């Protein structure tokens, strides 16, 4: 049995839990050791002298309960249940708590669905999260797409709109 399968069993158990998260007035029990090992933000918090580190209950006020549960589940299982959460909110949570593996998984999720219709939204997310990885991938996508359709007026407008991305990644 993999170590993540063992941790998954712990996630659904109150046994040995030693920290509570309060999200949308609901308590979620967790295990400091798992949270700290999987997320450097919490490792630093728990090992610091901050009052939050000593508190048995940590309030999470800026994320939905469903999103935070998916985040905690990821920490225990190394898997994301994409259908249960808004990915951009999960990405924001991962960014706040500096969970790099989850950030990359969210970025990969966007890129697998990248097309000309959602390019604006994904480019905006690249800027919001200051993601050089997403910007480079969007730039590569644009270069391929623009090579296929060169003279179309819409494509010329598209090229102008994303000029900064195309130039940024040509350096």
For CATH 3.30.710.10, list the domain ranges present in the chain: 1-103
The pLDDT tens digits of the residues spanning 11-51 come to 556 677 788 999 999 999 888 888 898 999 999 988 887 77
Average pLDDT score, the chain: 82
Q: So what's the pLDDT on residue 111?
A: 95
Domain 1-103 maps to which CATH number in 3.40.50.720, 3.40.640.10, 3.30.710.10, 2.120.10.90?
3.30.710.10
Q: Which has the closest alpha carbon to 85: 116, 106, 54? A: 106
Q: What digits encode the pLDDT tens for the residues 127-168?
A: 999 999 999 999 888 888 776 655 556 556 666 666 666 666
38 phi/psi in degrees, rounded to 5? -90, -15
The mean pLDDT value for 60-79 works out to 92
């Amino acid at each position: 049995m993999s170590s993540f399968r063992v941790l998954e069993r712990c996630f659904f158990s109150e046994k040995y839990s030693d920290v509570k998260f309060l999200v949308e007035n609901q308590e979620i029990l967790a295990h400091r050791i798992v949270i700290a090992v999987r997320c450097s933000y919490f490792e630093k918090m728990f090992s610091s002298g901050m009052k939050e580190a000593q508190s048995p209950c940590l309030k999470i006020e800026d994320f939905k309960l469903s999103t935070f549960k998916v985040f905690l589940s990821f920490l225990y299982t190394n898997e994301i249940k994409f259908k249960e959460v808004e990915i951009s909110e999960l990405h924001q949570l991962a960014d706040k708590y500096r969970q790099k593996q989850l950030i990359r998984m969210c970025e990969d999720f966007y890129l697998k669905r990248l097309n000309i219709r959602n390019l604006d939204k994904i480019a905006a997310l690249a800027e919001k999260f200051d993601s050089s990885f997403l910007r480079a991938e969007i730039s590569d996508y644009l270069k391929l797409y623009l090579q296929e359709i060169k003279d179309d007026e819409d494509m010329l407008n598209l090229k102008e709109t994303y000029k900064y991305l195309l130039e940024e990644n040509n350096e």
